[in-house]
Structure formats: structure tokens, C-alpha cells
């Protein structure tokens, strides 16, 4: 069963395998991971602990954010005890997020795609956004990203427009 889990060092082994998979297909960016700040990702257990601490801090209102960054809850998409992917739920929109980034970003590890994980994770994230107080969430995808587009449309995304090559969708949370 697909779940949205709090990042946890207990998932270290499958997370490290997943990172290797993303890198092998040239997806170092890992959408929704929140790990762009890490120039060299340390995939040892100690490195995973540092990553987890960093991610958990981003949701904490007490953590000061640099200009242009908003607080964000980072989830790890899991099935049982296995890391399956990343999902980021941003708590607010900056002008750039309103244009292009949206509230929610995600990526499923390459070996686990096409199994419905993104669709189920997005449905859970929409519910979590409502519980967080957001009435609707913005999702965006590149016009040629068919898998992401279908994921968003399958979750009830209503297409508003396209800006700078990004299709923009709103999903009501309640
Ligand atoms: C986009 C992504 C998260 C989808 O994850 P996933 O777990 O494979 O998605 P699902 O299995 O839930 O499938 C969702 C929909 O996409 C379709 N789909 C999945 N992979 C597809 C592919 N390669 N080509 C076309 N459609 C695809 C599925 O058929 C499904 O559509 P349907 O419900 O109409 O049948 C995954 O491809 C990924 O991680 N891509 C790289 C990162 C990325 O692009 N993130 C989004 C940034 S906006």
C-alpha cells in the first residue's frame, strides 16, 4: 500500500538504492526531494541522517527560510518498509511557485514507476494539504511530461492555463 511517510533514517538502504537509480537515469534533480542544497549527496547512513534532519526542519515554522523559499513538508513515498519516491508539499506560494512550481512536487524511483504510486501519493497529499488549511493546491508539469500530466488529471486537476511551458492545474482539497 502506498503511503506518505515522514523521512526516516530507517529507510536508509532503499533510499540509497533509489538515489543510485535516479542518478543512473540522469535525474539528479529528483523532483520533490528538497535535496538540491546538497552538492554531494552522502548516501551512507550518517548522510541519510543529515538529509532527514534537513528535510524535517523545512516544515518547522521556527526554521528561518531564505528569501524566496517557503516552509515545506517533505514526505517519502513508501510501500511497506521500502522507499519508493519523494513528495513535497509547500505551505505557500511565492510569485515563482504561482507561475511555475506549484504547491506539490514528486518523483517516483525509476524501478517503481507505472505501478500507481504517484497517483495514490498525490491523492494522499491533496488530503494532507486540506488538513494543513489549504483550500486548493496548484500542480504544474512540463507540457511534454505525459506521466505527470496524467497523474495530475487523474487526481481531478483542473487546467487553468500554461505559462512558460508549464501546464498549471488546481485541485480542490475539500
Ligand atoms: C511522473 C511520475 C511521478 C509518475 O509516477 P508513477 O508512479 O509512474 O505514476 P502512476 O503509476 O501513478 O501513473 C500515473 C499516470 O501516468 C501514466 N503513466 C505512467 N508512466 C507513464 C509513461 N512513461 N508514459 C505515459 N504515461 C505514463 C499512467 O498510465 C497513469 O495514467 P492513467 O491513470 O491515466 O492510466 C514519474 O514518472 C516520475 O517520477 N517522473 C520523473 C519526475 C517527474 O517528472 N516528476 C513530476 C514533475 S512535474
**Segments in the chain below pLDDT 70:** none
**pLDDT at residue 39 in the model:** 87
CA angle 117, 127, 138 (to 5 degrees): 85
CB 160 within 8 A of CB 141: no
140 CA: nearest ligand 1 atom: 48
CA of residue 84 to ligand 1 center, whole Å: 13
- What's the rounded Cα separation, in Å, for the pair 164 and 98? 12
**pLDDT at residue 159 in the model:** 98
122 CA: nearest ligand 1 atom: 12
- Is the CB of 31 inside a 6 Å radius of any atom of ligand 1? yes
Tell me the residue range of the domain where 27 lies: 2-172
**pLDDT at residue 155 in the model:** 98
**pLDDT at residue 37 in the model:** 81
Does this model's pTM top 0.85? Answer: yes
Supply the CATH number for residue 90's domain: 3.40.630.30
Give the model confidence (pLDDT) of 16-67 as tens digits.
Answer: 999 999 999 999 999 999 998 898 999 999 999 999 999 999 999 999 999 9
**pLDDT at residue 81 in the model:** 96
**pLDDT at residue 142 in the model:** 97
- What's the rounded Cα separation, in Å, for the pair 21 and 13? 13
- Is the CB of 145 inside a 6 Å radius of any atom of ligand 1? yes
Q: How many domains does one find in the chain?
A: 1
Residue to mutate (ligand 1; options 79, 147, 155; most atoms within 8 A of CB): 147
Amino acid at each position: 500500500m502506498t503511503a506518505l511517510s515522514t523521512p526516516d533514517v530507517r529507510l536508509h538502504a532503499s533510499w540509497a538504492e533509489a538515489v543510485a537509480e535516479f542518478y543512473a537515469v540522469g535525474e539528479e534533480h529528483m523532483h520533490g526531494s528538497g535535496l538540491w542544497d546538497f552538492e554531494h549527496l552522502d548516501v551512507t547512513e550518517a548522510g541519510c541522517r543529515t538529509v532527514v534532519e534537513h528535510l524535517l526542519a523545512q516544515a518547522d515554522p521556527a526554521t528561518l527560510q531564505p528569501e524566496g523559499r517557503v516552509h515545506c513538508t517533505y514526505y517519502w513515498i513508501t510501500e511497506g518498509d521500502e522507499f519508493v519516491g519523494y513528495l513535497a508539499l509547500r505551505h505557500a506560494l511565492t510569485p515563482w511557485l504561482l507561475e511555475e512550481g506549484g504547491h506539490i512536487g514528486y518523483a517516483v524511483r525509476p524501478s517503481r514507476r507505472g505501478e500507481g504510486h504517484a497517483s495514490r501519493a498525490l491523492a494522499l497529499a491533496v488530503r494532507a494539504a486540506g488538513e494543513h488549511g489549504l483550500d486548493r493546491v496548484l500542480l504544474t508539469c512540463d507540457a511534454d511530461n505525459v506521466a505527470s500530466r496524467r497523474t495530475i488529471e487523474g487526481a481531478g486537476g483542473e487546467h487553468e492555463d500554461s505559462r512558460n511551458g508549464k501546464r498549471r492545474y488546481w485541485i480542490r482539497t475539500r
